[in-house]
Structure 1
Amino acid sequence: MKALEDFINSWDETPLKTKQAFIEIYDHLKTLDDITLEFNARPKVSFSLRPRQNSQKSRSLFAMVDVIDDDPEERWLSVCFYKEMITDPDEAGDLIPEGLLGEDGYCFDLYEYDKDEINYIKKRLSQACENAKE
């Protein structure tokens, strides 16, 4: 994951603290059992962290954590899940038809650091990881 670490180290934090939010989400992903992380860098578009539950067979990931890079001074996060892999009791996510690799998904956009929103997203990540097991 050298490319991911290089990306994080080269990212200058802003007053909105989206880098800190990303790191907390990344650190949470590293605590989940039996997963693999893939990092896909598309500078000036997005930097995408894609966790996969190692027992998954039908899909290549259970979530997508994107750092949207259309403006490096104001990067923001979009964390997406397959619709049936999570619940959204607070209705905080946006339902995106065919929004995650051609399937319906929920996306949670984070424009600035918010501890409560990050904790909510972490719970969805744990839930999706568990539901991804096959």
Structure 2
Amino acid sequence: MKKETEQELNAFIEEWKETPEKNKEVFLHFREYLSRKEGVTLDFMQRPGLTYSLRAVHASQKKKDLFVMVDVIEDDPRWLSICFYGEMIADPEEKGDFVPEGLLGEDAVCFDLEERDEVLIRYVEARMDEACQKAATE
């Protein structure tokens, strides 16, 4: 991540007040989870008042600009929407929502996390692993 972008992300995190839903904690967890993946670079894009997006791309990835986007949705309280390109993951338990043209104009599968849910977190991590592996070969 570029130094300036990382400073923006850190400033965003610092001003984010945690709520009983623990969504800030989950966001930090996913940031750490993705940052430990070999060959993965993170980026952060802000649309103040709407969303704050953590985006992960694999160094070998050629066809797409990212393989997962962890959006912080500006609401009260803030919540997370974790989106993948539809063709990059399976959703065997159908926990995600199919969103036509929902990720940078392409079909997506998104998982909404309104509060800390360990089962859903693990499920999303498995999707992150799957998408990362696919991104590494495309």
Instruction: Give the TM-score, by structure 1 length.
Output: 0.94
Q: Is 1:117 aligned to 2:120, yes or no?
A: yes
1:84 positional shift: 1.1
**Any stretches of 5+ residues in structure 1 without a counterpart?**
none
Matched positions, count: 132
- Cα distance in 1, alignment partners of residues 118 and 28 from structure 2: 12
Q: How does 1:21-32 map to 2 (within 5 A)?
A: 21-32=26-37
1:66 to 2:71 alignment: yes
Question: Counterpart of 1:99 in structure 2: which amino acid?
Answer: G
User: How far is the alpha carbon of 1:91 from its aligned partner?
Assistant: 0.6
How far is 1:42 from its partner? 1.2
CA RMSD of the aligned region, Å? 0.9
Whether 2:7 is the aligned partner of 1:2: answer yes
Counterpart of 1:88? 91
Task: Give the C-alpha shift of residue 40 in structure 1.
Answer: 0.2
Shift of 1:9: 1.4
Instruction: Quote the offset at 1:101 in angstroms.
Output: 1.0
Q: Spell out, residue by residue over 1:97-127, the C-alpha distance to the aligned partner (whole angstroms, 9 max, x if none).
A: 1111111110000000111111111111111
TM-score by length of 2: 0.92
For residues 126 and 6 of structure 1, what CA distance do their matches in structure 2 show? 28
Distance 1:27 1:56 in 2: 20
Q: Counterpart of 2:13 in 1: which secondary structure?
A: helix
Q: Partner amino acid for 1:120?
A: Y
Q: Secondary structure at the match of 2:38?
A: coil
- The equivalent position to 1:101 in structure 2, one of 97, 101, 104, is 104
**Secondary structure of the structure 2 residue equivalent to 1:74:** coil
SS at structure 2 position matched to 1:131: helix
Report whether the alignment pairs 1:53 with 2:45: no
Q: 2 CA distance for matches of 1:31 and 1:126?
A: 11
What amino acid is the match of 1:2?
Answer: Q
Q: 1:44 aligns with which of 49, 65, 73?
A: 49
Identity of aligned residues (%): 50
Q: CA deviation at 1:22?
A: 0.7
Structure 2, gaps ≥5 residues long: 1-5
Task: After superposition, give the CA deviation of every residue in 1:18-62 in whole Å (9 maximum; x if it has no partner).
Answer: 111111111110111101111001111000001001111111101
